[in-house]
Structure 1
């Protein structure tokens, strides 16, 4: 199975949680911290579970997520 790495631009994230809901392997969760706009942002909490499916990046309306496939 493919392995991936999720990179989130916390300053672009507006806390909609769509990525958290879209992730089939529960890689993401909402941070307790705030970004400079005052939003909770998503963050990888189980990065080793990422399968590089890109579901999170596809649903992000703010284009705040990049997914890299690892070899």
Structure 2
């Protein structure tokens, strides 16, 4: 015999979850190497995304240039320098730089630079250096 009790109210959160961390926590130490995708040769095949152990490589949405099928970028603030993306990139477009050199090279190789979409935030000096 079935009981006809009313189901409990659904209390699942509707909409986006508020962030528990207001900003990125500082790194304990900087990696020795950084991956920077050279957008002049990247085809957007996503091989690097598959091998990244910290998910710091993401697809860039709504790229306005027809020359790019799909574009991926490395979030250098999350990159740990493991070099797996560089090792498995079939187009050899992910050079690994020393941390300091990677910070210097990123502005000239990343998608925003290639498409002339730099913002004030991108060109502002990094307070860490």
Q: Into which bin does the TM-score normalised by the smaller protein fall?
A: 0.7 to 0.9
Please state how far the C-alpha of 1:34 moved relative to its aligned partner.
5.6
Residue 74 of structure 2: aligned partner: 44
Write the distance in 2 (CA, Å) between the matches of 1:43 and 1:61: 16
Which structure: greater strand fraction? 1
Which ranges of 4 or more aligned residues in structure 1 deviate by more than 4 Å?
A: none
**C-alpha displacement of 1:10:** 1.0
Where in structure 2 are there 5+ consecutive unaligned residues? 1-28, 101-129
CA RMSD of aligned residues (A): 2.1
Listed as ranges, the gaps of 5+ residues in structure 1 are none
Q: Which structure has the larger Rg over C-alpha atoms?
A: 2
> Greater helix percent: which structure?
2
Structure with the larger RCO, 1 or 2 (CA within 8 Å, 6+ apart): 1
TM-score (norm 2): 0.47
**Residue 20 of structure 1 aligns to a residue in which SS?**
helix
Relative to structure 1, the CA distance from residue 11 to residue 50 in structure 2 (aligned partners, 3 Å threshold; closer, same or farther) is same
